[in-house]
Structure 1
Amino acid sequence: MSLLSVVDTLCNTPRVGWLQRGVSNAETVCAHSLLATLLAAEVAARLRAEGVDIDVEKVIAAAAVHDLAEAYLGHPSREVRNRLRWEEVEEEVFKREFPHLLELFRWYRYEENLVGRVVAFADKLATLIRACRYRQMGYDTDDLVKSLYKRLQEYDDLAHLLDVYVSAYCGGVPA
């Protein structure tokens, strides 16, 4: 599959979880990946401004590729991901189709370093922000907002940034 085909596929693949919640015109994998990448870049830049030694360019690169395997695998439901060793399935696609990007993927998937932790944080944060947007549109996403917020608080080294985004995009901290 050419790179253009990968992009076209990701930009036309809806995220299944939103469809399962009845969201019409659900966010695509492409839209999610772009938001996650921009959030990761911003989080990394904020950390660097705080004096943390982080390579913002590597964060952007890892975030940009974190969902590439979904061009080959689709975007399965949480139930499917939980029944499989999803990270191993994705890694096999990277080994076969994107071996030159495998290290970036592994940093993210296994949170092997600060770059990977920032990308994983931004990935979840992008989903939280989208859940807040869908809640504002009248969709029932309260459970997801609360669970993602709780998971993001577990990132001890990044949690201090969480409420900045929650205030901006979610109207405050979930109850």
Structure 2
Amino acid sequence: MTDLISIVDTLCRTPRVGWLQRGVADAESVCAHSMLVALLAGEIAAQLNAEGVDVDIKEVLAVATVHDLAESVLGHPGREVRERLRWEEVEEEVFKREFPHLAELFRMYRYETNLVGRVVSFADKLATLIRACRYRKMGYDTGDLVKNLYLKLSKYDDLAHLLEFYVSKYCGSLV
């Protein structure tokens, strides 16, 4: 049986390495990131439903909640490590071994197999963009990341209309 308290404690103590590499002194934890992703994904799903697009908010929240769960086992390596490994396969293997009952939720996110997965993947990148804007306002050098994430998010044709709302709200003129 998995020790859920240890998993949560680990995720809440694990900083997102990319922020540390950029010199952010009090870097966001994986836990804080996951919470922001879940809240954004829930808002986005609710907005899509209001627009007449049928998306299951409960499923979106479930997928968002577990999307970084493998990092409780693997830690949060920097981009260089992720690029050198087949990171998607490594994470999927951890899910199959440690969290088999949640593996399909992870697959929805990782491979964007349906609208739920696309919403969570979009929210994941959006959460990082919002955090990059916040750190940029604090004086950290995240301008390149802000631009790159904005370009990636713009390619979500079915969700890009929501991007401007969040950019305006959290980033202002930084993009």
Please say which of residues 164-173 and 136-145 is displaced more in the overlay.
Answer: 164-173
Residues 15 and 26 of structure 1 are in contact (CA less than 8 Å); yes or no, is this contact kept in structure 2?
yes
The residue number in structure 1 matching 2:13 is 12
Q: Identity percentage over the alignment?
A: 75
Once the two structures are superposed, what CA deviation does each residue of 1:44-90 show, in whole Å capped at 9, x if it has no partner?
A: 00000000011010000000000000000000000110111101100
When normalised by structure 2's length, the TM-score is 0.98
Once the two structures are superposed, what CA deviation does each residue of 1:92-145 show, in whole Å capped at 9, x if it has no partner?
A: 110011101011000000000000000000000000000000000000100000
The residue number in structure 1 matching 2:90 is 89
Q: CA RMSD in A?
A: 0.7
Number of equivalenced pairs: 174
Structure 1 unmatched ranges of 5 or more:
none
The residue number in structure 2 matching 1:52 is 53
The residue number in structure 1 matching 2:28 is 27
The residue number in structure 1 matching 2:132 is 131
Once the two structures are superposed, what CA deviation does each residue of 1:15-47 show, in whole Å capped at 9, x if it has no partner?
A: 000000000010000000000000000000000
2:11 match: secondary structure? helix
When normalised by structure 1's length, the TM-score is 0.98
Residues 133 and 174 of structure 2 are in contact (CA less than 8 Å); yes or no, is this contact kept in structure 1?
no
Residues 163 and 172 of structure 1 are in contact (CA less than 8 Å); yes or no, is this contact kept in structure 2?
no
Structure 2 unmatched ranges of 5 or more:
none
Following TM superposition, by how much is the alpha carbon of 1:173 offset from its aligned partner in structure 2, in angstroms? Answer: 6.3
Runs of 4+ off more than 4 Å: none
Question: For residues 89-128 of structure 1, what are the structure 2 equivalents within 5 Å?
Answer: 89-128=90-129
The residue number in structure 2 matching 1:73 is 74
